[in-house]
Structure 1
Amino acid sequence: MSELSISVTETPTADELATIGGRLTAFNEGDVGPADRRPLAVVVRDEAGAIVAGLSGYTAWGWLYVQWLWVAEEQRGAGLAGRMLTAAETDAKARGCHGAYIDTFSPVALKTYQRAGYVSFGALKDFPPGRTRTFLQKRL
């Protein structure tokens, strides 16, 4: 067996990331079948065309993962997050998804997601320090 070299970097190359991601994807698809991973975004613009809110994630293996959800401060409190979640969930259902998941360490966002029908299935205390990162899911 040849010698192996292990290195740690905070500046991986695009090729290194593509190799790691591509090989893991190939392994997973061989193990459980194709993910059919597809990006999904909801973008909200004001009358001038400026982005004032948005949601970004993807669908894979029958699930919607909401990676980012942001609402500009002046737009908060009007139900926009819930409307974006509904739009993303509707699209995910059209793609054949049966569930959605999201995580947050914001107590305000946690209540928003719970109002939208998401339920907690796990938590990491002190992630970040002084907060709890909560993982939530919803059946679609």
Structure 2
Amino acid sequence: MRAPTLEVTDTPDQEDLEAIGSALAAFNQADVGPAERKALAVLVRDGKGLIVAGISGYTAWGWLYVQWLFVAESHRGQGLAGQMLAAAEAEAIRRGCRGAYIDTFNPQALNVYERAGYRVFGALPDFPKGRSRSFLSKTL
């Protein structure tokens, strides 16, 4: 029997990544049950139909994860982030979620999330250098 080999690459094959994801999903399902992962997006469009703000994330295991939240500079300061979070949370509740989480290293975003009821439960200093990456959660 050949010994396993270790490979480090910055160009992994999509097939290899899918093999890792499938194996991990199977392990997790056997360990804690099905994730019932489902995408969730909140989109804000301008009068021309262009996206000026949005949330991309998913629900799984009874939690909402907000992976990306963006508001175009021209639309900041109008409360869109809070409105989008509220819409995503409402959909997550409809899906049976009991909590939400998000992370950021942007101080302004941190303030927005805290105003929306999220609380910091952990942080990584100097991620990136000179900033802290904060991890926040909220009970729904």
Q: TM-score scaled by structure 1?
A: 0.99
In structure 2, distance between residues paired with 1:120 and 1:32? 25
Q: After superposition, what is the alpha-carbon deviation per residue over 1:50-72, rounded to whole angstroms, capped at 9, x for unaligned? A: 10001000000000000000000
Q: Separation in 1 of the partners of 2:11 and 2:84? A: 34
- Residue 33 (1) aligns with residue 33 (2): yes
How much does 1:2 deviate? 2.7
State yes or no: 1:51 paired with 2:63: no
Which stretches in structure 2 are left out of the alignment for 5+ residues?
Answer: none
- Measure, in 2, the Cα distance between the counterparts of 1:35 and 1:130: 36
Equivalent in the alignment of 2:121: 121
**Residue of structure 2 equivalent to 1:73:** 73
Q: Distance in 1 between matches of 2:11 and 2:88?
A: 32
Indicate the RMSD between aligned Cα atoms, in angstroms. 0.6
Q: Deviations over 1:80-115 (max 9, x none)?
A: 000000000000000000000000000000000000
For the pair 1:134 / 2:100, whether they are aligned, the reply is no
Q: 1:10, 1:90 → 2: CA distance?
A: 39
Distance in 2, Cα, partners of 1:13 & 1:59: 27
- Read off the aligned partner of 1:44 and give its amino acid letter: V
Matched to 2:20, the amino acid is I
Q: 2:17 matched to 1:17?
A: yes
Q: Displacement, 1:14?
A: 1.0
Any stretches of 5+ residues in structure 1 without a counterpart?
Answer: none
Q: Secondary structure at the match of 1:65?
A: strand
Distance in structure 1 (CA, Å) of the matches to 2:128 and 2:64: 24
2:133 is paired with a residue of what secondary structure?
Answer: strand
Q: Point out 4+ residue stretches in structure 1 off by more than 6 angstroms.
A: none
User: How much does 1:11 deviate?
Assistant: 1.0
Q: Deviations over 1:11-35 (max 9, x none)?
A: 1111011000000000000000000
Rounded Cα–Cα distance in structure 1 between residues aligned with 2:11 and 2:85: 33
Question: Percent of counterpart pairs with the same letter?
Answer: 64
